[in-house]
Amino acid sequence: MHLPRSNHLPVHLLASSFNNVSATYKFYWLLSILEEVESGVRKIPKRNLFVRMISNAWYTVNYFNVSYGKQDLIQDTVRIIKEIEEIPIDKDKQIVYNKIVVSTNPQTKKLLKHFDKNVPHWFLTPWFKKKGKKFIYDASKSFDGQCLYALYSDFIEINPVWIYYLTSNSKILKNFCYWNLSLFLQARNPSVPDIPNKLIKPPSNRRLSNQRNNFWNIVFKEMGTIECIYTGKKLSAKKYEVEHFIPHSFVSHNLIWNLLPADPSFNSSKNNKLPPLEKYFNPFFELQKTAVEIIKAKTPKNKLLQDYLVILPDIGNSFTKIRFKEVFQPLVTIASNNGFEFLE
């Protein structure tokens, strides 16, 4: 993916800012600048940018547990600030930003200040090759080489010649950042599925109305009640939640083969924890197998049956406990290795 061209600006230098990256800082730095410029700000406090970096990484770190690598301090900073500021992991980005940007907590301030050591001037190194921090700060104030911004102790000032380019191409520039960020993170999480969709908070998936109305309600109509595999309570079609067996925050999809009806009170407490397979896999498999048999009998052209073809190409002959477990065992292992906790 390439940046939009310009006949008057050194866009190639902006693109060069992302050469040989060893951490996610530059991606989040430019994303944060774009968000500020979109709001009409030209002189941007560095603190605001650092807070935006944290809020942009918030969901990827706290909800999806994506690893950023040992050299990248954003991940640790996000998690520490979450505890300091007592912000729930599922809050929207703007709420996270609003909470942190006004914080007076000394530790939060110190954590944010750390990013001032390198990020602002490192980003400008394509304009000032082989130059030190002091030189870059001094030269940027005159916008030498049409650099993107001028550096000051507490703020940056966007170069006026870049304003129109940034605002008119904001969406493309953001996509450029997210595309390269996803490639960077995928390389560090080779077994983690769907990294691109784990960079921002997705729309709420809790209702899952299609899976409820066109799959599980049909199963309930045939069975009457279904026993929750977690609590043993009898569930009815009027009172149950559609639950992800392997957390949505890991698989990042709503395919029916990973869904089941659950006790609403338990579902809210399970959150994004992993089910120990030795305890829960057998009842989950039996429920899934029964449900598939009912759906195939009652609505054989049900489109949701196609979800199973992703994992079982021959659903008629391969829907066995062994084959099904071969799908879930590695998912649980990888998720556990990436920091997801187990249900007790």
pLDDT in tens, the chain (344 residues): 789 999 999 999 999 999 888 899 999 999 999 999 999 999 999 999 999 999 999 999 998 999 998 889 999 999 999 999 999 988 889 999 999 999 999 999 999 999 999 999 999 999 999 899 999 999 999 999 999 999 999 999 999 999 999 999 999 999 999 999 999 999 999 888 889 989 988 766 556 899 999 999 999 999 999 999 999 999 999 999 999 999 988 988 899 999 999 999 887 777 789 999 999 999 999 999 999 999 999 999 999 999 988 888 776 667 888 988 999 999 999 999 888 899 98
pTM, full prediction: 0.81
Relative to beta strand 149-151, strand 43-45 is unpaired
Give pLDDT, residue 337.
86
| Residue 71: Cβ-neighbour burial (10 angstroms; 0-12, 13-18, 19+) | exposed
Strands (E), 258-335: 259-262
Position 126 scores a pLDDT of 96
pLDDT at 317: 67
pLDDT, residue 26, reads 95
Long-range contacts: 171-180, Cβ < 8 Å, 24+? 172/3, 172/4, 173/3, 173/4, 173/30, 173/34, 174/31, 174/34, 175/1, 176/1, 176/2, 176/3, 177/27, 177/28, 177/30, 177/31, 177/34, 178/27, 178/31, 179/1, 180/1, 180/18, 180/21, 180/27
pLDDT at 316: 65
Q: For position 271, what pLDDT does the model report?
A: 79
Angle between helices 170-188 and 25-38 (to 10 degrees): 160
Helix or strand (DSSP H, E) at 70 = none
From start to end of 223-339, where are the E strands?
226-227, 234-235, 241-244, 259-262
**According to the model, what pLDDT value does residue 24 have?**
95
Q: Tell me the sheet residues that pair with 151.
A: 156
pLDDT at 21: 87
**What is the rounded distance in angstroms from the CA atom of residue 60 to the CA atom of residue 203?**
14
Look at residue 204 in the predicted model and tell me its pLDDT.
61
Q: In terms of Cα–Cα distance, which of 87, 51, 53, 93 is closest to 72? A: 53
Q: Name which of 17, 29, 18, 14 is nearest 119 in CA terms.
A: 29
Comparing C-alpha atoms, which of 199, 180, 195 is closest to residue 74?
199
Tally Cβ neighbours within 10 Å of residue 108: 19
Coil/strand/helix, residue 244: strand
What is the identity of the amino acid at 111?
L
